[in-house]
Amino acid sequence: MPYPTKSFAKALITGSNGFVGEYLTAALQAADTTVVGCGDQATSALPIAYRQLDITQAEQVNSVIQFFKPDVIFHLAGISSVKLSLQKPELTHAVNVDGTRHLLGALRKIVPQAKVVIVSSSEVYKPKAEPLVETDPLDGTSSPYAQSRVDQEALCRADFADVDWVLSRSFNHIGPKQLPHFVIADFARQVAAIRLGLQEPVIAVGNLEVVRDFTDVRDMVQAYRLLATLGDPGEVYNLGSGQGAKVSDLLAKLILLAGKPVAVRVSPDRFRPSDNPIMICHNAKFVTLTRWHLQYSLEQTLQDIFDYSLMTLKSQKG
**318 vs 70, higher pLDDT:** 70
Q: What is the DSSP letter of 277?
A: S
Residue 144 sits in a domain whose CATH number is: 3.40.50.720
Q: For position 1, what pLDDT does the model report?
A: 47
- pLDDT score at 186: 95
DSSP state of 269: G
Average pLDDT, stretch 143-172? Answer: 97
The band of 144, judged by pLDDT with boundaries at 50, 70 and 90, is very high
> pTM score, two decimals?
0.95
Query: Residue 215 is inside which H or E element, if any?
Result: strand 215-216
pLDDT confidence tier of residue 6, bands split at 50, 70 and 90? low
215-272 pLDDT tens trace: 999 999 999 999 999 999 999 999 999 999 999 999 999 999 999 999 999 887 777 6
**Is 279:125 a contact under the CB 8 Å cutoff?**
yes
Do 135 and 187 share a structural domain?
Answer: no
Q: Is residue 3 part of a domain?
A: no
- Strand-pairing partners, residue 264, are 203
- In a shared domain, residues 90 and 140: yes
Q: Do residue 52 and residue 149 come from a single domain?
A: yes
313 within domain boundaries = yes
Same domain, 273 and 291: no
Same domain, 17 and 106: yes
Please tell me the total count of domains within the chain.
Answer: 2
Residue 265, domain extent: 183-209+245-280+300-317
Per-residue pLDDT, 317: 77
Of 5-14, 122-131, 180-189, 213-222, which gets the smallest average pLDDT?
5-14
DSSP secondary structure, 161-214, as one string:
TTSEEEEEEE--EE-TT--TTSHHHHHHHHHHHHHTTSS-SEEEES----EE--
Quickly state the pLDDT bin for 147 (edges 50, 70, 90). Answer: very high
pLDDT of residue 83: 86
Q: Is residue 150 part of a domain?
A: yes
**Does 268 share its domain with 155?**
no
Q: What is the pLDDT of residue 273?
A: 62
List alpha helices for 55-161, DSSP H.
58-68, 82-87, 89-93, 99-110, 144-159
202 pLDDT band (50/70/90 cuts)? very high
Same domain, 193 and 91: no
> Can you give the CATH number for the domain in which 253 is found?
3.90.25.10
How large is the average pLDDT for residues 130-157? 96
Query: Is 111 in contact with 102 (CB distance < 8 Å)?
Result: no
In a domain, 4, yes or no: no
Task: For residues 115 and 50, state if they share a domain.
Answer: yes
With respect to residue 5, please indicate whether it lies within any of the assigned structural domains.
Answer: no
pLDDT at site 272: 67
Among 110, 123, 51, 128, smallest CA distance to 82 is for: 123
Residue 2 lies in a domain: no
pLDDT at 4: 55
155 with 226, same domain?
A: yes
d(CA 147, CA 96): 10
Report percent pLDDT > 90 for the chain: 88
